[in-house]
Amino acid sequence: MSSHHPEVAAIINRHRSSANSMLKRSQSRYLYNIFVANLSGVFSVSANVDGNVLHITIDDIKSEIDSWINELNTFIEDAWNRYDSEKDESGAEFVRLSSMGNDILYITMDYNNTKAKLDEMELEFQNTVRLYHVPVRSALTDIHILYNNETGYNGDFSGMKNVSVYIHGIESTSNEFLIGATEGGQEGDIIVHMRRDGTILYYVIHNGKAVLIRDDSKLTQLKEEAIKNNGRLHLLYDTEQMNEHRQETSDDLARKLNNLGLLNDETKIDMFAHSYGGRRSLQFAMDYPDHVRSITTIGTPYDTNMLGSMADNVRWLAEWIGQNPKEASDYLDFNLDNQNDVDGLYYSNAYTDLNSEPMTEDLHNLKAANPEVYEKLLEMEITAAAGYRIEYTYTHSPINPQRIEYKTNSDDTVSVESQNGEILGDLIDYRPQYEIEDGTGVTNPSHIYEIEDEDFRALISEINVKMLEEAEGSMEK
C-alpha cells in the first residue's frame, strides 16, 4: 500500500471503516475478495466474514462507493478553489495539490474498478439465481398441487373433468385458437381466454358461437351445468412472455391450472398447440404425465430449427424483421448450449431452445432417468400434424408444357419431417399432413395460417369428441 497525503489518508481511513462495516453487515466472502483484490492499493480491510447469514445489496454498496468518490473529488475541488497562486510564490502548494490530485485520481480509479467488479458479481448472482430458482419453483408448484389434492382445494373450475389447453408458438398469442376451440367444443362448454395483459375472458359455447360471459353468477351457473353434462373447459392460454422457454411455460401453466382447480386425479387434459407451443405441450406432458390425455400439434419444430437458430445467432437481424429473440423470462436452462446472454445476463428462451435442442434430447434423458414417465408418454395419444403448401412447376417440353403440382417439404418455416416429429419415433401416434391454402413463401409463410386451417380445426374437434367418448366409454366399463 502506498502512502497518502495526510488529508487524503484521513478520508480513506473513513472509507476503510465504511468498507469494514459493509463486510461485517454482509458477511460476504465474495465481497471481501473483491475489496481485497481491488482496494489493496488504497486500504486494507480487516472485517471478519465467517458468519452464516449473507445479506448483500449490491446497489447500496455501489452507492456507498459513489459517495467515497464524491467525497474525494469534492475535497480536491475545494482545495483547488482555495488555492491562491499569489500566496504560493515557491509553487510548493501547487506541487502538493497536484500530487494529491494524482493520488485521488488513482484512488478513484480503484474505487471505480471495484464498482465494475461488483457489477460482475451482481450479474453472476443473477445468473445463479436464474439457474437455481427454476427447480425450486417447480418443486414448490408440485408441493402446491399435492397440498391442493390433499386438502380438497376448490378452484374456480374444480369438478370439470375434461380440459383442452391451447398453446401458441413464438412471437404469438392464443387469439387465433378461439375459432378452433369454439368449433371444436360442444354446446355449454366453457372457454377461458387468459390474455397476456392479465385480462381473462369467459365464454360459453351457445348455438355454435362463443358468447362472452359478463357476470360471475352466470359463470357459476354455466360451470355447474357443464360439470353436470360432462362438458369441457377450453383454456386459451397466453404465455407470460411470448418467447419464453418451454420449461417456463410448463411451470406457469401448472400453477395456473392448479389455481383453477384443474390439476387433480379426475381432470384429464387434451393439449392443442401450434409451432413452438407443441414443444411447450410436450414439456408439460413430461412434467405432469398423469394429467395429460392427448397432445395435438401442428407446425411444431420437434427438431432444431434453422430459422430459430438464425434468430438466436444473428439477433440484430431477427430484431430488424420484427422478432424478439432476446425476450425471455427468468428461466435459465442447465444446458449451456441452450443459453444466450444480454450484456452478461444469461437467459434461455424459445430461440435458444430451437437453436440447441431437438426434443429427443430431453426425452432420451427422461427415458433413461425416469422410464415409467416415458411409458406414460407412450400411452398418451400424440398427433403431430404437418402443414405444407402446393406449388406448381412446368415440364420443359417446348411443344406441350404441362403444369405439375407438388407438395412443398415444409410450411415455409418448419419442415414437414420435423412437424411430424419423425425423430420422436413411436411416441407419435398419428402424423397427418394438411395442405395450407394461404401463404406464399418465406416472407408470407403458410406456417402462420395453420391454426385457422379448416383441416386442423376439424382435427381439434375430432380429438375433443374422441377423447370425451373414450373417457365416457372407460367410465361405463
Partner 1 sequence: MKIGYKTITLFFILLSLLIGCEDKKDMTYIKGLPEEKSPALTGFMKHLITGNIDTELRNKDREYIYASGNLVTGSTDITYYQLTDDQLATFHEQLLQSENPSLTRNKLFHSEDSSTIRKPFEDIDNYSLPNVSVSEDYVINIKHQTNELTIDLIEEMKEYNITNESEFIINLIGANEKTIALEIDDQSNDNPQENYYLFINQDLTEYTITPLNEAGLKKALNNDEFDNYFTIFKGTDNYRITFNKTAIFNTETKEMTPVGENDLISEDGKYVFLNGYTHGSEDLSDGKHRIQTIENYAKGNDIYEREFTIDFGTISKELDFESKKVSIGYVYYFNKDFIVLTLSYHGKIIGDGGFTNVLIDLQDEGNLRAYLVDLGLM
Chain residues in the site for partner 1 (CB under 8 A)? 168-173, 175-176, 178-179, 183, 187-188, 193, 195, 197-201, 204, 206-208, 210-212, 214-218, 221-222, 225, 242, 275, 307, 321-323, 413, 442-445, 447-448, 452, 454, 457
Relative to beta strand 340-342, strand 390-394 is: unpaired
Q: CB of 449: closest distance to partner 1 in angstroms?
A: 8
Count other C-beta atoms under 10 Å from residue 142's C-beta.
Answer: 16
Q: CB of 445: closest distance to partner 1 in angstroms?
A: 7
- Where do we find the cell 473529488? 73
Taking the least distance from each CB to partner 1, the nearer of 93 and 319 is 319
Q: Contact, 309 vs 322, CB < 8 A?
A: no
CA–CA separation, 428 vs 360, rounded Å?
12
Taking the least distance from each CB to partner 1, the nearer of 209 and 364 is 209
Q: CB of 168: closest distance to partner 1 in angstroms?
A: 8
CA–CA separation, 39 vs 42, rounded Å?
5
Q: CB of 342: closest distance to partner 1 in angstroms?
A: 20
Relative to beta strand 190-194, strand 162-167 is: unpaired
Q: CB of 63: closest distance to partner 1 in angstroms?
A: 31
Q: Which three cell numbers stand for residue 99?
A: 500530487
Query: Running DSSP on this structure, what letter comes out for residue 206?
Result: E
Concatenated DSSP letters for 236-287? EE--SSTTB-HHHHHHHHHHHHHHHT--SSS-EEEEEEETHHHHHHHHHHHH
Q: CB of 322: closest distance to partner 1 in angstroms?
A: 4
Q: CB of 374: closest distance to partner 1 in angstroms?
A: 31
Taking the least distance from each CB to partner 1, the nearer of 323 and 420 is 323
Taking the least distance from each CB to partner 1, the nearer of 171 and 333 is 171
> What is the radius of gyration, based on Cα positions, of the chain?
31
Q: Residues with Cβ < 8 Å from 169, sequence gap 6 or more?
A: 273, 274, 275, 276, 277, 278, 299, 300, 350
CA–CA separation, 467 vs 164, rounded Å?
10
Taking the least distance from each CB to partner 1, the nearer of 109 and 201 is 201
Q: Which three cell numbers stand for residue 317?
A: 437481424
Count other C-beta atoms under 10 Å from residue 57's C-beta.
Answer: 12
Q: CB of 183: closest distance to partner 1 in angstroms?
A: 7
Taking the least distance from each CB to partner 1, the nearer of 47 and 213 is 213
Q: Which three cell numbers stand for residue 277?
A: 407451443
Taking the least distance from each CB to partner 1, the nearer of 34 and 436 is 436
- Where do we find the cell 386438502? 151
- Could you give phi then psi for residue 294, rounded to 5 degrees? -155, 155
Q: CB of 279: closest distance to partner 1 in angstroms?
A: 15
Q: CB of 208: closest distance to partner 1 in angstroms?
A: 6
| Helices within 83-207 (DSSP H only) | 92-151, 177-184
Q: CB of 179: closest distance to partner 1 in angstroms?
A: 5
Taking the least distance from each CB to partner 1, the nearer of 197 and 426 is 197
Taking the least distance from each CB to partner 1, the nearer of 60 and 187 is 187
Query: Running DSSP on this structure, what letter comes out for residue 298?
Result: E
Q: Which amino acid is at 382?
A: I
Taking the least distance from each CB to partner 1, the nearer of 40 and 220 is 220
> Burial letters for 318-335: b for 16+ Cβ neighbours within 10 Å, e otherwise?
beeeebbbbbbbbbbbee
Taking the least distance from each CB to partner 1, the nearer of 46 and 313 is 313
Count other C-beta atoms under 10 Å from residue 268's C-beta.
Answer: 18
